[in-house]
Amino acid sequence: MPQYFVRVMNIWKDFGKTPLARPPRPRYTHAMRLTFTDSRLDHAGLQRGKPDWMAQQHAHPQGRAVLFAGGSLALDEDGGPLVLPAGIASGLALKWPGLIFIGLQDGAPWFAGALEPGVAARGPDFRLSAMRLPPDLACAFGRARSIMMWSGRRRFCSNCGTPNEAFDGGLRLTCPSCGMEHYPRTDPSIILLPYSGDRCVLGRQPGWPPGMYATLAGFVEPGETLEAACARETAEEVHLKVLGTQYIANQPWPFPSSLMIGFLAEVEPGEVQADDDLEDARWFTRDEVIDLYDGAMAGWAPKHFSISRLLIERWLGRDSGATV
Ligand SMILES: [Zn+2]
């Protein structure tokens, strides 16, 4: 069995039993330390458009493929993520367009594929899986998931309806009829913590676990700056006026393909009125935020998992850039 296969399995063997302990790491910026931000993948943008080069990657002896079932990682017989040599994975029943190239890591090509139903067991929600993956695999699998969710919805040309054809390892789709090219997309979203003095505003959406409150977020609309998006979302969601914004960090968020761009937003003090999208929103004092995140919400997710928590820790003054 190839060494890398054993490595991945070992990482996974305690899945669900123990929280992932992050190994000691060099001092990065805060953004670099968030889940999904420590990618070691070389996307090989200059080479992947060459058919001969891509054929070599498919035949590479160290090539590997991570397999998905639905939007979750597929599982092997031991309950670990199904990571196979690419040559074996390519022979399984895969959804169109088959194996997709996601990059090189340590010189070895990585691929991803979506299995047809019934080929392998489906793992837990990908959020739960990603919380327990080491940083490089969380990045690689997150990128794979975003790309597969994209191609899974682009079987047919959005311009004329003709079946698309895949090129560049599956990272470029071309319509043979009208010639339109389709590329994986990333949707920019702002995420922000509104605050005034020593109070901040947190909200909760319907369906969240009882007691959970978090930052506000929304997609950036066409023709809008990031700052304008922060002001609009704050006005729409909690009816407060933004006085100024401070950019903090950003995080790829593969659910399915967002880029979360995080801000602290100073707002005018006033009455919070939660929009219909929110079940509740209100002011929290500093002590209330600490009680919530160190108390009822402690252990729900690792601190480094989402930029929402980073924004809160930054506002609390507990994020030095090396502790989150
Ligand atoms: Zn077309």
165 C-alpha to center of ligand 1: Å?
10
15 C-alpha to center of ligand 1: Å?
44
Residue 180 falls inside a structural domain? no
Give the chain's domain count.
Answer: 2
Residue 90 falls inside a structural domain? yes
143 and 205 co-located in one domain: no
Q: Report the CATH number that the domain containing residue 234 is assigned in CATH.
A: 3.90.79.10
224 C-alpha to center of ligand 1: Å?
29
pLDDT at position 21 is 44
184 C-alpha to center of ligand 1: Å?
16
> Is the per-residue pLDDT at 16 higher than 90?
no
189 C-alpha to center of ligand 1: Å?
29
140 and 214 co-located in one domain: no
Interatomic CA distance for residues 140 and 38, integer angstroms: 9
* Residue 138's pLDDT band (cuts 50, 70, 90): very high
Indicate the burial class of 196 (C-beta count within 10 angstroms; 0-12, 13-18, 19 or more): middle
231 and 299 co-located in one domain: yes
> Is the per-residue pLDDT at 27 higher than 50?
no
72 C-alpha to center of ligand 1: Å?
30
Which letter does DSSP use for residue 250 in this model? E
9 and 138 co-located in one domain: yes
33 and 143 co-located in one domain: yes
Tokens 């820790």 appear where?
313
For residue 323, what are its two tokens? 């502790």
9 and 144 co-located in one domain: yes
Residue 168 falls inside a structural domain? no
Boundary of a domain, candidates 106, 129, 153: 153
176 C-alpha to center of ligand 1: Å?
7
133 and 13 co-located in one domain: yes
pLDDT digits (tens, 9 = 90+) for 94-129: 999 999 999 999 999 999 999 999 999 999 999 999
149 and 200 co-located in one domain: no
Interatomic CA distance for residues 143 and 40, integer angstroms: 11
Residue 173 falls inside a structural domain? no
Indicate the burial class of 13 (C-beta count within 10 angstroms; 0-12, 13-18, 19 or more): exposed
309 C-alpha to center of ligand 1: Å?
42
Residue 98 falls inside a structural domain? yes
177 C-alpha to center of ligand 1: Å?
5
Residue 174 falls inside a structural domain? no
114 and 231 co-located in one domain: no
Boundary of a domain, candidates 153, 169, 202: 153
Strand 187-196 and strand 181-182: the pairing is unpaired
pLDDT digits (tens, 9 = 90+) for 28-81: 444 447 999 989 999 999 999 999 999 999 999 999 999 999 999 999 888 889
104 and 195 co-located in one domain: no
Indicate the burial class of 224 (C-beta count within 10 angstroms; 0-12, 13-18, 19 or more): middle
Alpha helices in the chain (DSSP H): 3-12, 30-33, 51-58, 86-89, 126-132, 135-152, 226-238, 286-291, 307-316
153 C-alpha to center of ligand 1: Å?
14
166 C-alpha to center of ligand 1: Å?
13
Residue 165 burial (CB count, 10 A): 12
Domain limits for position 311: 187-316
pLDDT at position 301 is 86
312 C-alpha to center of ligand 1: Å?
45
* Residue 8's pLDDT band (cuts 50, 70, 90): low
**What contacts 92, CB < 8 A, 6 or more positions away?**
67, 84, 113, 115, 119
98 C-alpha to center of ligand 1: Å?
21
103 C-alpha to center of ligand 1: Å?
27
pLDDT at position 107 is 92
pTM of structure: 0.88
Residue 167 falls inside a structural domain? no
163 C-alpha to center of ligand 1: Å?
8
142 and 193 co-located in one domain: no
182 C-alpha to center of ligand 1: Å?
10
315 C-alpha to center of ligand 1: Å?
48
Interatomic CA distance for residues 296 and 35, integer angstroms: 22
126 and 58 co-located in one domain: yes
* Residue 13's pLDDT band (cuts 50, 70, 90): low
Boundary of a domain, candidates 153, 168, 199: 153
Residue 221 falls inside a structural domain? yes
Interatomic CA distance for residues 201 and 181, integer angstroms: 43
pLDDT digits (tens, 9 = 90+) for 233-289: 999 999 999 999 999 999 999 999 999 999 999 999 999 999 888 999 999 999 999
> Is the per-residue pLDDT at 25 higher than 80?
no
* Residue 176's pLDDT band (cuts 50, 70, 90): very high
172 C-alpha to center of ligand 1: Å?
14
pLDDT at position 12 is 55
140 C-alpha to center of ligand 1: Å?
30
Instruction: Report yes or no: 264 and 193 within 8 Å, Cβ to Cβ.
Output: yes
> Is the per-residue pLDDT at 172 higher than 70?
yes
